[in-house]
Structure 1
Amino acid sequence: MRGNAPRVERTPLQRLRDATNDVLASSPARFAIIVFTVLIGLVTTLLMLPIASASGDPTPFSDALFTAVSAICVTGLVTVDMATHWSVFGNVVIVLALQIGGIGVLTLASILGLVVSRRLGLRAKLLAASDTNAARTRGGPVSESQAVRLGEIGNLLVTVAVSALLIELVLFAIILPRLLLAGFDVWTSIWQGFYLAASAFTNTGFVPLVDGMEQFSADPWMLITIAVGVFLGSLGFPVIFALTRFARFRARLTVHAKLTIVTTLLLILVGMIVILLLEWNNAMTLGDQDYANRPLTAFFISVMTRSGGFSPIDIGAMNGSTLLALDMLMFVGGGSASTAGGIKVTTLAVLFLAAFAEARGDRDIEVFERRIPTDVLRLAVSIVLWGATIVSASSIAILHITKAPLDLVLFDVISAFATGGLSAGLTTNDLPDSAKYILAATMWAGRVGTVTLAASLAAAQRRQLFRRAEERPIVG
């Protein structure tokens, strides 16, 4: 009588849960896009409420959407004055949004699941893995020499939660006394200190101070603290996890961790030297500062190109040559699975290592006594082309809409794609709404697009049992 068994009607909640599980099982990257988009819509709705603005008037949709995307994608570009436009409610919404965006939506979901159930199933591990390493979502065998092994995802989630909390609290403890000494009252110093700490570690770059960072342009205490927070956030949680294992157990650092640290430090040093050389005599930037303070400012700006977004000087007053150099640094961004954006420093490192191996005639790409497989090189090339395509299309569209100079448009578009937050002055409230929407889409694509592309390409790999005849086209 099995065929006559009564059919159990599922509730709408059960249908939604089953549909979510189906999407998650088929593609964690697609699930990430859906969650990111839903969160952006939710934050936009909250920021449009009259209670979210200091004046009590509803914030226009274009500005609310732009701010929501900038917060969730931890970009830092703004079209309104962050210090005066938002109310306490609005600032709370923004801080929560940038915290979620900085940690990673899927990572945060896995952490919450671990807290509630006190266990981490395979599906939850794969969910978190898509935030930390796109190659872990591919079908078939995956080398266990990845930055973080699948069996270590639980420990990684603990590291993410603890490190984010501890780093932000330490930053807050250092920033708070400086704000008090600057004349801010206790309550203002507390909430703005935590705001700055969270904004620094998540590489967002939102500044709640009325005068911005310019009042601390010659203050080593504040600048170095913010720079350290941005640097730690830009390394990525897999690197922090590797450093934690090294400190506790003297475990060998992975190639990913070594490449990220070495490349990041080299880019910061090169950026600092370039900014010093190009802006030394510019009276509107470094030229009017003391000789001893100019290297500090140049170092700070160089760190901010990782995706920080803070600036104690007017970026729009920089020379065109300096803006182009910052464009290249921002396009690279920070470390993989970090709060920073861009094509990532390891992508750049792999491309340079491949060029070096080709110049030497080596068959394999080798670094730190390890061999990098060719599929990683193909993925790096694809990510660079994807990023260049997004930046080109957005720049052309905004140039046509605004008729603004190319160097300013290109700088802000790259900042949007790389979730950098630095601005040459294009993103103001006078920016046409259509241009705001394009920049918002660029931020969204820069935050989730590269990860989605990486996961899609990794999952699309297949074995082929034959090889076609070889023929070499002319290249170069």
Structure 2
Amino acid sequence: MNQPLPADQRAMLRRVRPVQLIFLGFLLVTAAGTGLLLLPAATAPGGQTDFIHALFTATSALCVTGLTVVDTGSHFSVFGQVVILVLIQLGGFGVMTFATVVGLMVLGRLSLRSKLLAATEAKSLGLADLRSLILGIIKISLVIEAVLAVILSLRLHLGYDMSLGDAIWHGSFHAVSAFNNAGFALYSDSMMGFVGDPVIGLPLCAAIILGGLGFPVIMQLRRRFRTPRLWSMHTRIVVWATSVLLVLGTGMILALEWSNPATLGPMSWPEKLLASFFQSVQTRTAGFNSVDISAMKPTTWLGMDVLMFIGGAPAGTAGGIKVTTVAVLLFIVFTELRGDAAVNIFGKRLSRAVHRQAIAVVLLAGSLVVVVTGALMHLSGLPLDQVLFETVSAFSTVGLSTGITAELPMLGQLMLVLLMFIGRVGPITFASALALRERRTLYELPKERPIIG
């Protein structure tokens, strides 16, 4: 168990506002990325990047979203693509987590403020094991990205006659983009050219799933993969919920798009299965697509809206309201229906504070999506199904699109920028960062209850 902090450190903990510094850190890196993308060297010869497009791209990269208003592969130069890749990696690590790593390398130790910032951003439950957690995050990220980069580079070089240099660059770019659940691609049609290639598709899916599990889950599975009875409640919820959602998503896309001539219709059944699984994985909040999303049926869009809104697991590279939030709410409902006094999950009692957090996250996220969807419909005149898909994709940092992003008016694109930012830092973190001060209530009011339902 973690030892309690000394009195002077507890006092400092009450004064510091980690969420505000995380908020400012993301703003500063976004501003730096925007400035770099505005440089003439960041754009391909003959092209030009205006402020809105640079801001949108920088935010999308740092928030590991993948929504684009220009074609990444043709509009940006190699320098611009490197800037985007660095922003993706920073977004996946976490700005404050990366700063903490730099502090470790330079100073060899962590101040309490650095520990608080990194623990808040990494969703760590304590400060004692923070050093090993951060180093574990770096190690896991680099190893998975390196393995995937080798696989993709070899396949592109040997199977698609791409030069070795281009294959290494493309393989490395898409490996970082995949593990960080970013979905940025160097091809104008994303991964549609590899729709039937399992050597490309399945490794990308594996990296996306691992990134979406969250670093604490990956680290625990690495140590105790063969002893599930020793897994924490968090790990069990994440593994169970992720598996169920992947299967349900694959089945839904396969069933709804089976005969669609613009998507799965012309494919053989193995290709249909691979494409359906690939797109189901992308709803974990990566943004690649191997079929034309704009040609999918509105029913499929709606199902994908739900999957994207849920997203992946906390403390990883995925977005959304997180699978743990949805699982907690489902268990609360089941407990209420059964008439039990406490919410029990996998043999453990759930803290009542978690109830409030889950409800707050869902209500804040749902409200944001509804408000922005309505505003974008008013500004653009586009139909609800397409606008809702775009809005959920932005908030959940997914990056899938029906193709309307570049068509939105400037104000609409700025709204998506804000939504991506909120989605990445989290709605509660964002709201807390805007709060002028923390309030501690020293009294309780008498209880009374309204009629519910």
**2:196 alignment partner AA:** A
Task: State the 1:250 CA deviation.
Answer: 9.2
Task: State the 1:449 CA deviation.
Answer: 3.5
1:365 aligns with 2:355: no
Give distance in 1, aligned partners of 2:251 and 2:227.
37
Aligned to 1:165: 142
| Pick aligned residue for 2:207 from 224, 229, 232 | 229
1:203 aligns with 2:193: no
Structure 2 vs 1, CA of residues 46 and 466 (structure 1 numbering), >3 Å: closer, same or farther? closer
Give distance in 2, aligned partners of 1:117 and 1:24.
25
Q: What are the residue-to-residue correspondences of 1:89-168 with 2, within 5 Å?
A: 89-133=79-123, 148-168=125-145
TM-score, normalised with respect to structure 1: 0.88
Contact 2:257 2:296 in 1 (8 A): yes
Q: Tell me which structure has the larger Cα radius of gyration.
A: 1
User: Residue by residue, what CA displacement relative to the aligned partner does 1:143-166 show, whole Å, maximum 9, x if unpaired?
Assistant: xxxx64321111101100100000
Give distance in 1, aligned partners of 2:113 and 2:73.
42
Give distance in 1, aligned partners of 2:138 and 2:15.
25
Task: State the 1:122 CA deviation.
Answer: 2.7
| SS of structure 2 residue aligned to 1:203 | coil
| SS of structure 1 residue aligned to 2:344 | strand
Q: What 5-or-longer segments of structure 1 have no aligned partner?
A: 1-21, 134-146
Give distance in 1, aligned partners of 2:15 and 2:199.
48
CA RMSD of aligned residues (A): 2.2
Structure 2 vs 1, CA of residues 460 and 248 (structure 1 numbering), >3 Å: closer, same or farther? farther
Task: State the 1:462 CA deviation.
Answer: 5.1
Task: State the 1:469 CA deviation.
Answer: 3.6
Q: What are the residue-to-residue correspondences of 1:18-417 with 2, within 5 Å?
A: 26-133=16-123, 148-180=125-157, 181-246=159-224, 252-417=230-395
Aligned to 1:13: none
- Could you list the structure 1 runs, at least 4 aligned residues long, displaced by more than 4 angstroms after superposition: 22-25, 247-251, 453-457, 459-467
Give distance in 1, aligned partners of 2:221 and 2:351.
24
Q: How many residues align?
A: 439
Structure 2 vs 1, CA of residues 310 and 57 (structure 1 numbering), >3 Å: closer, same or farther? closer
User: Residue by residue, what CA displacement relative to the aligned partner does 1:114-148 show, whole Å, maximum 9, x if unpaired?
Assistant: 12111223322211110122xxxxxxxxxxxxx64
Structure 2 vs 1, CA of residues 248 and 218 (structure 1 numbering), >3 Å: closer, same or farther? closer
Contact 2:216 2:315 in 1 (8 A): yes
Contact 1:23 1:30 in 2 (8 A): no
Task: State the 1:275 CA deviation.
Answer: 1.0
Structure 2 vs 1, CA of residues 50 and 356 (structure 1 numbering), >3 Å: closer, same or farther? same
Give distance in 1, aligned partners of 2:421 and 2:245.
25
| SS of structure 2 residue aligned to 1:292 | helix
% same residue = 41
| SS of structure 1 residue aligned to 2:128 | helix
User: Residue by residue, what CA displacement relative to the aligned partner does 1:161-214 show, whole Å, maximum 9, x if unpaired?
Assistant: 100000000111111111112121111101110000000000000001355311
Give distance in 2, aligned partners of 1:44 and 1:469.
51
Give distance in 2, aligned partners of 1:292 and 1:444.
38
Give distance in 1, aligned partners of 2:439 and 2:197.
51
Contact 1:216 1:312 in 2 (8 A): yes
Give distance in 2, aligned partners of 1:264 and 1:120.
34
Task: State the 1:391 CA deviation.
Answer: 0.7
Task: State the 1:110 CA deviation.
Answer: 1.1
Aligned to 1:443: 420
Task: State the 1:448 CA deviation.
Answer: 1.4
TM-score, normalised with respect to structure 2: 0.92
Q: What 5-or-longer segments of structure 2 have no aligned partner?
A: 1-11
Give distance in 1, aligned partners of 2:225 and 2:292.
40
Give distance in 2, aligned partners of 1:87 and 1:24.
46
Structure 1 stretch displaced more, 433-442 or 327-336: 433-442
**2:241 alignment partner AA:** T
Give distance in 2, aligned partners of 1:451 and 1:226.
31
Give distance in 1, aligned partners of 2:148 and 2:200.
10
Task: State the 1:450 CA deviation.
Answer: 2.5
**2:185 alignment partner AA:** V
